[in-house]
Amino acid sequence: MQAETTTRFQPRRRTAKGQARPRYLQPDDIDKVMLMLVNLLSEVSALRDRLDTAEAVVELGGQPTSAAIEAYELTPERHLARESNRQAMLARVLRPITEERDATAGDEA
């Protein structure tokens, strides 16, 4: 009979070694990635607005058909809520950039 051996594994580090974050892109690539990110955010925002409209149509007792969604008139309150959600999404997604910018601005002061 073989002796049973157990190996205890150490969990992997979840952070990069060193002080700075790893860099994967060349400076020229960063603008392209940023443009892709902004385009993707635009698409996500449009989808969220469309879903919000479908939910509003259902709340009014209608069926969320394409015609009903296109005919829906946005209320000022719902417009403000959408804009607030959009700004919050932008803040969350762009946080790594804004935090770095703010930290750099604090160092220069």
Residue 97: predicted pLDDT:
87
Vertex 103, ends 101 and 108: CA angle to 5°? 95
The confidence score (pLDDT) of residue 29 equals: 87
- Do the Cβ atoms of 72 and 56 come closer than 8 Å? yes
| Half-sphere exposure (Cβ direction) of 73: Cα atoms closer than 13 Å | 0
For the chain, what is the radius of gyration of the CA atoms?
Answer: 24
How many angstroms separate the CA atoms of 41 and 59, rounded?
A: 27
**For 89-100, b where at least 16 C-beta lie within 10 A, e where not — what string?**
eeeeeeeeeeee
Q: What is the pLDDT of residues 7-22, one digit of tens each?
A: 677 776 666 566 677 7
Per-residue confidence (pLDDT) for residue 51, from 0 to 100: 97
Full-prediction pTM beyond 0.75? no
What digits encode the pLDDT tens for the residues 81-96? 999 999 999 999 999 8
The whole-number pLDDT of residue 109 equals 58
61 contacts 55 by C-beta, under 8 angstroms: no
